[in-house]
C-alpha cells in the first residue's frame, strides 16, 4: 500500500491523508486500509527560531536560579539574625513567630526556584524534537531457543539429580523447613495472647471513685443533679500498664432525679440517682463524654452514637451495637462513692469471644 | 457669766455631756470609718427593681413568679449566677424560638439592671451566687493545670482549644473565644442549657480559675506555628491542603506538561 495519498488535481483524494499534507478534501468514503498518519507537524519554539527569544529564555532561567540563591542567603541571615522569640502580626495569620515564617518562606523559595529554573530551561532551550524508536521483535532466534533448552536439560542430567532421589528428597525437606523459622518469628512477634484482658477492667469491689486528673475521692454529697464527673478507679496510676488500664477503666458519673430513671436495675446499681457508666463507647471505643444535661443523652463524638441515660444507656441513635455497661456503686461509711462490684460485662467495642 | 455656765454643776449636765459625746463619736465614725469591701450585696431596693424588670421582660415565658411555663423553665433556685450569665452574655431575653439560645453581643440590660434581676431571682430561693473576682479573673491561674482539666472535662464538647463543637439535633457547644472570666465561671457553675453542672465540689474555685486562665491564654492567639485555621484540627487542615496544597500541585503539573511558547 503506498503511503502517499494520490492527489487528484483539484485537491481531493481517495486515500487516507497524512497530517502534514495540509487541507485535502476527501470524497467521503472510508479507505480500504488506514495508513499511519504519522506525527503532527513539529511546532518550533520561539527560542529555537529566534536568537533574541533564546537569550530572553536564558535570562529567565538565570533569574530563577538567582532567586534561589537569594532565598538561601536570606535563610542563612535569618537563622542568626532574628531572635527566635519575636512575634509579628501577619494579616490573615495573626500573631506568628517571625523567625519560623522567614526561615520557612526562604527555604521554600530556595528549593522551588532550583526546580523552576531547571524546568524552564528544559522547556525553552533543551531539544524537544519528537523521536520514535521502533520496538524490536521479542522472539529470539530458533537456534538460540533450542540451545538454551539443551543447556538446561543437559545441566540437569550432569547434576545427577534424576539418578539420585535421596538428594532430591533431602533438598526438598531442607528448603521447605527453612521457611519455618521465618514464619515462626513473624507469628510469634505478634505479642502475647490477651488472655482475659479484654473482658476485665481495673475496677474491683470497694475501690473508691476518683476525679480524673486530680485523683481525689468523690463524696456522694458532692454530686448534684445535672453534674458530670470524670472518674478513674483508686490506685490505677500504680498499675503495671497504666495507659492500657486507664483505657478500659474510664467511667462517667452522673446524677439524675431518680424519678427520671425508667429501669429498676439502673436505680439499684446507682446510689440515690447517682449512676456510673463506662465511658468507652461500645462501637469503636471513643470516650463518650458529651453529656446533654437536659435530654439525659450521652453522645459519642466519633460516630455520634447516642445513649439514653434514663433507659440504662440504651442506644437510641448511631452505630453502637450495645448499651454502655453500668458500674454498680455504693457509698462507704465515710460518704465516699465506691464501686460495689467490678463491671459485670466487658466494656468497649464488641469482640469475638465476648461471652 | 452666761446662763449655760451658771448651770454647769446641775446633775443633768453630765448626762447631757455624755449624750453629746456619744452623738459626736457616732457621727464621726459613720462619716470617717473605712467601708468594708462588699461584693454587691443586694438591697431590698435592688430586689424590687429586679422584680419590676422581671415582670416586664421575663415573666411572659418564665411565669409571673418565675415558676415556669410551657415556654420557659422555672427560675426558682437557679441563683444569681445563672441570671448574670444568661442575661450578661445576651442569651436572654431569648431572641426567638430556636433549638438553643445563642450568645449575643447585643446585651439588652445595663450591668446595674442585670444585678437587680439577679438579686430578684436569688431572693426566690437559694442558688449559686455570682463568683468572686479573684476566682474568675483568670489571672495568676496555672495555665497547664487548667489545660489538663479543660481536656478532661470540657474538650469533648468544646474542642481542645475551646473552638466549639456539635451536639445532637442542632444543639451545639459554643466557641469559648473572648468570653469574660466571670461568665465562664458562671457557665460552669450553673450548667446552662445542655451543659452539665460543674459545681464547686466538682471543680474547685481554683480549678475553675485555672481553666479560665487557659482559655484566656488561647485567646491571645499566639500561633508560633502559623495559621491556626480555627483550631479545628484535621477538618480545616484537610480543607486547606485539598484546596491550596493540591491546587498548587495541579498547577505545577499543568505547567510541567505544557509546551513552551
- Average pLDDT for consecutive 10-residue bins of chain B (261 residues)? 86 91 91 66 82 92 91 91 94 88 90 93 93 88 95 94 92 94 95 93 94 93 80 90 96 91 75
Rg over CA atoms, chain B? 29
Q: B124, B141, B164 — which closes off a domain?
A: B124
The number of beta carbons lying within 10 Å of the beta carbon of residue B61 is: 15
**Structure confidence at residue A3 (pLDDT):** 45
Residue B227 lies in a domain: no
**Cα separation, B161 vs B235, whole angstroms:** 14
Q: C-alpha angle with apex A335: A240 to A202, nearest 5 degrees?
A: 20
**Cα separation, B205 vs B223, whole angstroms:** 29
Q: Which of B152, B199, B222 sits opposite A213 (nearest CB)?
A: B152
Q: Contacts for A216-222 with beta carbons within 8 Å, 24 or more apart?
A: A217/A336, A217/A337, A218/A253, A218/A336, A218/A337, A219/A335, A219/A336, A219/A337, A219/B201, A220/A271, A220/A272, A220/A274, A220/A331, A220/A335, A220/A336, A220/A337, A221/A335, A221/B201, A222/B199, A222/B201, A222/B202
Shortest distance, CA B147 to any CA of chain A (angstroms): 11
Q: Does B36 touch chain A (CB under 8 A)?
A: no
On chain A, the residues whose CB falls within 8 A of the CB of B260 are 45-47, 57, 123-124, 128
Alpha helices in chain A (DSSP H): 46-49, 51-81, 98-124, 142-158, 165-188, 242-249, 264-269
Residue B13 lies in a domain: no
Q: Does B234 touch chain A (CB under 8 A)?
A: no
Give A120-145 as a 3 state SS string: HHHHHCCCCCCCCCCCCCCCCCHHHH
Answer yes or no: do B120 and B175 share one domain: no
On chain A, the residues whose CB falls within 8 A of the CB of B207 are 214
Tell me the C-alpha to C-alpha distance, in Å, between residue A353 and each of A247, A248, A259, A303, A327. Answer: 19, 17, 37, 24, 21
Q: Does B201 touch chain A (CB under 8 A)?
A: yes
Q: Does B170 touch chain A (CB under 8 A)?
A: no
Nearest-Cα residue of chain B relative to residue A98? B224
Answer yes or no: do B151 and B193 share one domain: yes
Nearest-Cα residue of chain A relative to residue B230? A93
Nearest-Cα residue of chain B relative to residue A212? B152
Q: Which residue, chain included where needed, has cell 487557659?
A: B214
Contact A97 B168 (CB under 8 A): no
Contact B157 A211 (CB under 8 A): no
pLDDT tens for A296-328 read 999 999 999 999 999 999 999 999 999 999 999
Contact B261 A46 (CB under 8 A): yes
Shortest distance, CA A116 to any CA of chain B (angstroms): 9
**Structure confidence at residue A313 (pLDDT):** 96
Answer yes or no: do B172 and B196 share one domain: yes
| Burial class of residue A63, CB neighbours in 10 A (0-12, 13-18, 19+) | middle
Q: Which of B171, B197, B259 sits opposite A224 (nearest CB)?
A: B197
**Structure confidence at residue A133 (pLDDT):** 87
Q: How many domains does chain B have?
A: 2
C-alpha grid cell, residue B27: 457621727
Contact B191 A293 (CB under 8 A): yes
**Cα separation, A327 vs A342, whole angstroms:** 7
Size of interface A-B (CB pairs under 8 A): 105
Answer yes or no: do B142 and B182 share one domain: yes
**Cα separation, B159 vs B258, whole angstroms:** 45
Most confidently predicted of A3-7, A86-90, A199-203, B221-225: A199-203
pLDDT confidence bin for A13, thresholds 50/70/90: low
On chain A, the residues whose CB falls within 8 A of the CB of B214 are none
Answer yes or no: do B85 and B146 share one domain: no
Contact B221 A94 (CB under 8 A): yes
Query: Which letter does DSSP use for residue B231 in this model?
Result: G
Q: Which of A45, A22, A23, A31 is nearest to A3 (CA)?
A: A31
Question: A24 near A12, Cβ under 8 Å?
Answer: yes
Q: Does B106 touch chain A (CB under 8 A)?
A: no
Tell me the C-alpha to C-alpha distance, in Å, between residue A230 and each of A29, A315, B219. Answer: 83, 21, 26
Answer yes or no: do B151 and B190 share one domain: yes
Residue B240 lies in a domain: no
Tell me the C-alpha to C-alpha distance, in Å, between residue A29 and each of A19, A25, A62, A170, B88. Answer: 18, 11, 55, 72, 86
Note if the bond before B226 is cis, omega within 30 degrees: no
**Structure confidence at residue B40 (pLDDT):** 53
Q: Which residues pair with A276 in a beta bridge?
A: A253, A327
On chain A, the residues whose CB falls within 8 A of the CB of B222 are 87, 95
Mutate: best of A111, A124, A301, partner B, most B CBs <10 A: A301
Residue B116 lies in a domain: yes
Q: Which of B196, B225, B256 sits opposite A226 (nearest CB)?
A: B196
Contact B223 A213 (CB under 8 A): no
As a whole number, mean pLDDT of residues A179-184 equals 94
ipTM score here?
0.78
Nearest-Cα residue of chain B relative to residue A305? B168
Q: Which of B92, B112, B109 is nearest to B42 (CA)?
A: B112
Nearest-Cα residue of chain B relative to residue A286? B156
Answer yes or no: do B50 and B117 share one domain: yes
Residue B20 lies in a domain: no
Q: Does B221 touch chain A (CB under 8 A)?
A: yes
Residues with Cβ within 8 Å of residue A219, at least 6 apart in sequence: A335, A336, A337, B201
Q: B219, B235, B254 — which closes off a domain?
A: B219
**Structure confidence at residue B39 (pLDDT):** 53
CA B218 remoteness from chain centre = 18
The torsion angles phi and psi of B109, rounded to 5 degrees, stand at -130, 155
Type and span of the H or E element at A275? strand A274-278
Residue B230 lies in a domain: no
Residue B246 lies in a domain: no
Q: B91, B107, B124 — which closes off a domain?
A: B124
Q: Does B178 touch chain A (CB under 8 A)?
A: no
As a whole number, mean pLDDT of residues A159-172 equals 90
Q: Which of A57, A213, A225 sits opposite B148 (nearest CB)?
A: A213
- The SS3 of residue B34 is coil
Q: Does B171 touch chain A (CB under 8 A)?
A: yes
pLDDT tens for A231-261 read 999 999 999 999 999 999 999 999 999 999 9
The residue ranking higher by pLDDT, A35 or B246, is B246
Residue B224 lies in a domain: no
**Structure confidence at residue B2 (pLDDT):** 86
Answer yes or no: do B120 and B137 share one domain: no
CATH number for position B111: 1.10.760.10
Q: Does B224 touch chain A (CB under 8 A)?
A: yes
As a whole number, mean pLDDT of residues A82-107 equals 89
Has residue A221 got a pLDDT over 80? yes
Has residue A7 got a pLDDT over 70? no
Q: Print the domain residue range for B61.
A: 44-124
pTM summary value: 0.77
Answer yes or no: do B112 and B166 share one domain: no
Has residue A268 got a pLDDT over 60? yes
On chain A, the residues whose CB falls within 8 A of the CB of B160 are none
The torsion angles phi and psi of A53, rounded to 5 degrees, stand at -65, -35
The number of beta carbons lying within 10 Å of the beta carbon of residue B77 is: 14
**Structure confidence at residue A70 (pLDDT):** 98
pLDDT tens for A105-143 read 999 999 999 999 999 999 999 988 888 888 888 898 999
Amino acid at each position: 500500500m503506498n503511503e502517499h495519498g494520490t492527489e487528484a488535481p483539484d485537491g481531493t483524494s481517495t486515500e487516507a491523508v497524512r497530517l502534514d499534507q495540509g487541507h485535502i478534501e476527501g470524497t467521503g468514503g472510508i479507505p480500504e486500509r488506514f495508513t499511519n498518519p504519522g506525527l503532527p507537524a513539529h511546532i518550533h519554539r520561539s527560542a529555537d527560531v529566534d536568537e533574541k527569544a533564546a537569550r530572553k529564555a536564558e535570562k529567565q532561567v538565570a533569574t530563577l536560579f538567582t532567586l534561589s540563591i537569594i532565598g538561601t542567603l536570606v535563610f542563612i541571615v535569618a537563622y542568626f539574625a532574628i531572635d527566635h522569640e519575636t512575634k509579628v502580626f501577619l494579616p490573615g495569620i495573626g500573631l506568628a513567630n517571625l523567625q519560623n515564617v522567614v526561615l520557612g518562606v526562604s527555604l521554600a523559595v530556595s528549593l522551588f526556584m532550583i526546580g523552576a529554573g531547571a524546568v524552564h530551561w528544559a522547556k525553552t532551550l533543551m531539544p524537544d524534537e519528537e523521536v520514535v524508536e521502533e520496538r524490536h521483535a521479542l522472539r529470539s532466534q530458533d537456534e538460540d531457543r533450542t540451545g538454551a533448552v539443551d543447556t538446561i536439560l543437559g545441566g540437569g542430567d550432569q547434576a545427577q539429580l534424576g539418578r539420585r532421589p535421596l538428594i532430591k528428597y533431602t533438598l526438598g525437606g531442607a528448603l521447605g523447613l527453612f521457611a519455618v523459622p521465618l514464619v515462626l518469628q513473624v507469628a510469634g512477634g505478634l505479642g502475647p495472647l490477651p488472655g482475659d484482658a479484654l473482658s476485665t477492667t481495673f475496677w474491683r469491689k470497694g475501690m473508691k471513685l476518683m476525679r480524673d486528673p486530680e485523683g481525689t475521692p468523690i463524696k456522694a454529697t458532692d454530686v448534684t443533679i445535672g453534674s458530670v464527673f470524670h472518674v478513674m478507679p483508686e490506685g490505677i496510676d500504680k498499675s503495671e500498664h497504666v495507659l492500657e488500664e486507664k483505657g478500659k477503666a474510664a467511667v462517667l458519673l452522673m446524677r439524675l432525679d431518680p424519678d427520671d430513671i425508667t429501669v429498676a436495675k439502673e436505680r439499684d446499681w446507682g446510689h440515690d440517682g447517682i449512676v456510673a457508666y463506662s465511658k468507652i463507647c461500645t462501637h469503636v471505643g471513643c470516650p463518650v463524654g458529651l453529656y446533654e444535661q437536659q435530654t439525659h443523652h450521652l453522645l459519642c463524638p466519633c460516630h455520634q452514637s447516642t445513649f439514653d441515660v434514663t433507659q440504662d444507656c440504651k442506644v437510641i441513635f448511631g452505630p453502637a451495637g450495645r448499651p454502655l455497661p453500668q458500674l454498680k456503686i455504693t457509698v462507704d461509711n465515710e460518704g465516699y462513692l465506691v464501686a460495689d462490684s467490678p463491671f459485670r460485662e466487658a466494656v468497649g467495642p464488641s469482640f469475638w469471644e465476648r461471652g | 457669766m452666761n446662763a449655760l455656765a451658771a448651770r454647769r454643776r446641775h446633775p443633768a449636765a453630765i448626762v447631757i455631756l455624755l449624750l453629746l459625746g456619744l452623738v459626736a463619736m457616732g457621727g464621726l465614725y459613720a462619716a470617717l470609718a473605712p467601708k468594708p469591701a462588699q461584693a454587691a450585696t443586694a438591697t431590698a431596693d435592688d430586689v424590687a427593681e429586679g422584680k419590676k424588670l422581671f415582670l416586664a421582660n421575663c415573666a411572659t415565658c418564665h411565669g409571673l413568679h418565675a415558676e415556669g411555663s410551657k415556654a420557659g423553665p422555672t427560675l426558682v433556685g437557679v441563683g444569681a449566677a445563672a441570671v448574670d450569665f444568661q442575661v450578661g452574655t445576651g442569651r436572654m431575653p431569648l431572641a426567638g424560638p430556636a433549638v438553643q439560645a445563642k450568645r449575643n453581643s447585643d446585651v439588652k440590660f445595663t450591668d446595674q439592671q442585670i444585678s437587680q434581676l439577679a438579686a430578684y431571682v436569688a431572693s426566690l430561693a437559694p442558688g449559686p451566687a455570682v463568683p468572686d473576682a479573684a476566682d474568675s479573673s483568670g489571672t495568676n491561674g496555672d495555665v497547664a493545670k487548667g489545660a489538663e482539666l479543660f481536656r478532661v472535662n470540657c474538650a469533648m464538647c468544646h474542642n481542645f482549644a475551646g473552638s466549639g463543637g456539635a451536639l445532637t439535633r442542632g444543639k451545639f457547644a459554643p466557641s469559648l473565644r473572648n468570653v469574660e472570666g466571670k461568665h465562664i465561671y458562671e457557665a460552669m457553675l450553673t450548667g446552662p442549657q445542655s451543659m452539665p453542672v460543674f459545681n464547686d465540689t466538682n471543680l474547685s474555685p481554683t480549678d475553675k480559675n485555672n481553666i479560665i486562665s487557659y482559655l484566656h491564654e488561647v485567646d491571645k492567639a499566639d500561633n508560633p506555628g502559623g495559621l491556626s485555621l480555627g483550631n479545628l484540627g484535621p477538618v480545616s487542615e484537610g480543607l486547606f491542603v485539598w484546596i491550596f496544597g493540591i491546587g498548587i500541585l495541579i498547577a505545577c503539573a499543568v505547567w510541567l506538561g505544557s509546551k513552551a511558547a
